[in-house]
Structure 1
Amino acid sequence: MACVCEASRYVLYLTAQHPVFPPDVHLADVTHVVLAFMKSSSFIGNSPSTWEPFTSVESVRAKFPKNKKVNVMIAIGGWGDTNGFSAAAASQMGRKAFAENVKAMLDFTNADGVDLDWEYPGGNGEDYKQITNSEKSWEVEAYPKLLAEIRTAIGPDKIMSAAVP
């Protein structure tokens, strides 16, 4: 059996609650930075004229040497943020609008990609006490449709990652 390994990826999550960069010596191996989190409900309906993550993509890139390529991504969702994803995934029109808004946000911020942090379709996140799994089981089939719509909207050159159970 042959095994092909890709180059290692080192991801740094920055959150508005803890926007702390490690010392420069630890940044040397970082390949991706994920700015977390934008609310999933921000991507429903009409696209806002501006997108405001807690810090700019450019300010993150400035933390690294000019000759180092670091991919900066923006995370949507996070633990307890399921409602926007659920609303978007419920219909083809909702999925398309959500995906187009993700593309608009990536274009506006100049980010290299998106991290979709829906925890978890059909499995409940923090709302597990209010909404039973049976009420959300439809999300399991809708989830890959939402991902496919986002991939189509952002194109093959943007990075897309997702939290999965």
Structure 2
Amino acid sequence: MARIVLQIVCLLTVVLNVFAQPQTKKTGKKQSLAVIAYYAGPADRVDSFAAEKLTHIIFSFCHLKGNKLAIDNARDTVTIQRLVALKKRNPQLKVLLSLGGWGGCETCSDVFSTDKGREEFARSVKHLLDYTKTDGLDLDWEYPAIQGPPGHKFMPEDKPNFTQLVTQLRKAVGPNKEISFAAGGFTTFLEQSIEWKKVMPLLDRVNLMTYDLVHGYSTVTGHHTPIYSTPQQKESADNAVRYLDSIGIPRNKLVIGAAFYARVFENVDSVNNGLYQSGKFKHGIPFKAYPGELTPEKGFVYHWDPVAHAPWMYNAKEKLFVTYDDTTSMRLKTAYAVDQKLNGIMFWQLGDDTYSNGLLDVIYNEKLKKQSK
């Protein structure tokens, strides 16, 4: 009798342990890394890129017209139509619209501060997604609750208002449309702008802008898109991931950002080959222009930071410092995203890439290599 009771207890223990585990869909496959491109180029270039190597492409940007999401002009409408047509080549591709961008969310703080504004916006999003046959919305409000572009209003109430905005959006568009947002990859944003634990259950992912960590307003050079922090520079992709992981945000909802462009600083002293020196931002250079612009013949010398896992260049004659992602850092960044079991890797922006043998190819090839193991 005692033996029978013991067997029953053991059986119940096994059953309870099974039901205590999180119930996940068993597909027999590893989660595939999302490869997400923002696109801010013209319609006539859309078909030239390798859409088959993307999981998502985000049209950049729509803006607010009153309280409603609006496409700015007929040219942008054509671009969105071309992006949606890429599904004929890649049926799994998701096409999202994006609100805002740097300098593109001037009225966001006011519009999203009221129930009326949020509700009207959410309804307009549902209408526009249905009209354009797109798959979701990426919010790129730069930034809730902290300073963004000069002149853009911000206030502490933006933080809970953002939560209410996402709540209203999810209610309006339903469970099958994707909602994501572009988040500043720097500490001030991470700590002050978002009610992370309230927002993330409603979202498919967060696109961490782990680029422009050294930006157009910076007065000291550094890596604008490093993977890891250094003693001289805290901000990095790994720093953002570690912070969100530490407050309980699932890694499988985190997307790190990469840069398909360089930032050039001028009047930079030669100490440490220009790294972590005073300087002034001069201009950006798209990846497709690197072979003609950043050459040894023009005085640019390549350097690699083994701690940050990031390249830089210095031109001693012109006193120019260049920070960017290259094929090596892009490969390592993609490997990091897979190894850390993140949702994906995204980049700004596809129009800066070459049509072949570009940075998207590096991401795609490294993804295949890592996920085949």
Within the candidate set 132, 135, 144, 1:109 is matched to 132
Q: Is the contact made by 1:116 and 1:163 (CA closer than 8 Å) also made in structure 2?
A: yes
Within the candidate set 86, 97, 111, 2:120 is matched to 97
1:13 partner amino acid: Y
Q: Is the contact made by 1:56 and 1:109 (CA closer than 8 Å) also made in structure 2?
A: no
CA distance in 2, matches of 1:90, 1:105: 22
What whole-Å deviation, never above 9, does each CA across 1:79-123 have from its counterpart, x for those lacking one? 112233212211111111111111111111111001110011011
TM-score, normalized by length of structure 1? 0.78
* Cα gap change, 1:139 to 1:33, in 2 (>3 Å): same
Within the candidate set 56, 62, 68, 1:38 is matched to 62
| Deviation at residue 64 of structure 1 after TM alignment | 5.1
Query: What does residue 33 of structure 2 align with?
Result: 8
Q: Is the contact made by 2:58 and 2:96 (CA closer than 8 Å) also made in structure 1?
A: yes
Say how many residue pairs are matched. Answer: 154
Larger relative contact order (Cα-Cα within 8 Å, sequence gap ≥ 6): 1
Pick the structure with more strand per residue: 2
* SS of equivalent to 2:65: helix
Query: What does residue 193 of structure 2 align with?
Result: none
CA distance in 1, matches of 2:55, 2:167: 25
What whole-Å deviation, never above 9, does each CA across 1:19-52 have from its counterpart, x for those lacking one? 744855x43320111111011x22615x87xx85
CA distance in 2, matches of 1:53, 1:72: 17
CA distance in 2, matches of 1:52, 1:38: 12
Q: Is the contact made by 2:36 and 2:57 (CA closer than 8 Å) also made in structure 1?
A: yes
Compare CA radii of gyration and give the structure with the larger one: 2
Q: Is the contact made by 2:36 and 2:55 (CA closer than 8 Å) also made in structure 1?
A: yes
What whole-Å deviation, never above 9, does each CA across 1:67-89 have from its counterpart, x for those lacking one? 63211110111011223321221
CA distance in 2, matches of 1:22, 1:59: 8
CA distance in 2, matches of 1:58, 1:124: 34
* SS of equivalent to 1:74: strand
Q: Is the contact made by 2:47 and 2:86 (CA closer than 8 Å) also made in structure 1?
A: no
1:105 partner amino acid: L
1:11 partner amino acid: I
Structure 2, gaps ≥5 residues long:
1-28, 185-373
Q: Is the contact made by 2:105 and 2:141 (CA closer than 8 Å) also made in structure 1?
A: yes
CA distance in 1, matches of 2:152, 2:183: 20
CA distance in 2, matches of 1:63, 1:35: 13
Q: Is the contact made by 2:46 and 2:83 (CA closer than 8 Å) also made in structure 1?
A: no
Q: Which moved more, 1:29-38 or 1:54-63?
A: 54-63
CA distance in 2, matches of 1:64, 1:149: 28
* Cα gap change, 1:77 to 1:131, in 2 (>3 Å): closer
| Deviation at residue 131 of structure 1 after TM alignment | 6.0
CA distance in 2, matches of 1:53, 1:150: 26
* SS of equivalent to 2:103: coil
* SS of equivalent to 1:10: strand
Query: What does residue 170 of structure 2 align with?
Result: 151
| Deviation at residue 17 of structure 1 after TM alignment | 6.0
* Sequence identity percentage: 25
Structural RMSD (CA): 3.0
* SS of equivalent to 1:68: coil
Is 1:69 matched with 2:95?
A: no
